[in-house]
Amino acid sequence: MPDNALLQTTTTAAGLSRYGQIAAALQAKIVSGAWAPGSAIPAEGALAKEFGIALGTIRQAIAVLVQQGLLERVQGKGTFVRKGLTGASLMRFFRFGRADDAPAVPRSEILSCRAVRLDKAMATRFGLPTGARGLAISRRRWLEDTPRLLESIWLPLPRCEALQQLPPAQWGDLLYPLLGSACGITVHRAVDEVTFRTLAADEASLLSLPDAHPCAVVTRHAFDLGGSCIEYRLTRGDAFAFRYTADVR
Amino acid sequence: MPDNALLQTTTTAAGLSRYGQIAAALQAKIVSGAWAPGSAIPAEGALAKEFGIALGTIRQAIAVLVQQGLLERVQGKGTFVRKGLTGASLMRFFRFGRADDAPAVPRSEILSCRAVRLDKAMATRFGLPTGARGLAISRRRWLEDTPRLLESIWLPLPRCEALQQLPPAQWGDLLYPLLGSACGITVHRAVDEVTFRTLAADEASLLSLPDAHPCAVVTRHAFDLGGSCIEYRLTRGDAFAFRYTADVR
DNA sequence: TAGTGGTCTAGACCACTTG
DNA sequence: AAGTGGTCTAGACCACTAC
The whole-number average pLDDT for the span B1-12 is 38
Q: pLDDT band for B193, please (50, 70, 90 cuts).
A: very high
Query: In the prediction, which pLDDT does A87 show?
Result: 77
CB contact under 8 Å between B196 and A89, yes or no, is: no
The whole-number average pLDDT for the span B153-181 is 94
Query: In the prediction, which pLDDT does A1 show?
Result: 34
Q: pLDDT band for B216, please (50, 70, 90 cuts).
A: very high
A68/C14 CA-to-C1' distance in Å: 28
* C-alpha distances out from residue B121 to B127, B222, B229, Å: 10, 15, 13
- Taking a C-beta distance cutoff of 8 angstroms, is the pair B88, B173 a contact? no
| Residues of chain A contacting residue B225, judged by C-beta atoms under 8 Å apart | none
**How many angstroms away from the CA of A242 is the closest CA of chain B?**
6
Q: B111 at the A interface (CB within 8 A)? A: no
Residue of A nearest to B224 (CA): A249
Query: In the prediction, which pLDDT does A100 show?
Result: 60
B41/D11 CA-to-C1' distance in Å: 23
Query: In the prediction, which pLDDT does B96 show?
Result: 87
Cβ atoms within 10 Å of B118's Cβ, excluding its own: 23
Query: In the prediction, which pLDDT does B239 show?
Result: 97
The whole-number average pLDDT for the span B218-232 is 96
Question: CATH says A107-241 is which class?
Answer: alpha beta
Query: In the prediction, which pLDDT does B142 show?
Result: 95
CB contact under 8 Å between B196 and A239, yes or no, is: yes
Q: What is the pLDDT of residues B41-89, one digit of tens each?
A: 999 999 999 999 999 999 999 999 999 999 999 999 999 999 999 877 7
DSSP secondary-structure letter at B40?
B
Axis crossing angle, helix A55-68 with helix A44-51, rounded to the nearest 10:
110
- Taking a C-beta distance cutoff of 8 angstroms, is the pair B38, B193 a contact? no
Task: Please say if the pLDDT value at position B141 is more than 60.
Answer: yes
Q: pLDDT band for B6, please (50, 70, 90 cuts).
A: very low
Put simply, the chain A residues between 48 and 77 with a CB less than 8 A from any chain B CB are 69
- Cα distance between residue B131 and residue B118, in whole Å: 5
CB contact under 8 Å between A191 and B244, yes or no, is: no
In which residue ranges of chain A is pLDDT below 50?
A: 1-13
Cβ atoms within 10 Å of B131's Cβ, excluding its own: 10
Q: What is the pLDDT of residues B83-121, one digit of tens each?
A: 999 877 788 899 987 665 666 889 999 999 999 999 999
Q: A85 at the B interface (CB within 8 A)? A: yes
Give the number of C-alpha atoms closer than 13 A to the C-alpha of residue A80, restricted to the C-beta side.
Answer: 13
Q: B28 at the A interface (CB within 8 A)? A: no
| Range scoring the smallest mean pLDDT among A132-141, B95-104, B152-161, B234-243 | B95-104
From the list B149, B150, B122, the residue with the least C-alpha distance to B135 is B122
* Sequence spans of domains, chain B: 18-81, 107-241
Q: B188 at the A interface (CB within 8 A)? A: yes
CB contact under 8 Å between A240 and B196, yes or no, is: yes
Q: Is strand D within 7 Å of residue B127 (CB)?
A: no
- Cα distance between residue B58 and residue B46, in whole Å: 10
Q: Looking at the domain B18-81, which fold is it?
A: Arc Repressor Mutant, subunit A (1.10.10)
Query: In the prediction, which pLDDT does B249 show?
Result: 83
CB contact under 8 Å between B190 and A249, yes or no, is: yes
B73/C4 CA-to-C1' distance in Å: 10
Q: Is this prediction's pTM over 0.75?
A: yes
Q: Which nucleotides of D are covered by protein (CB under 7 A)?
A: 3-18
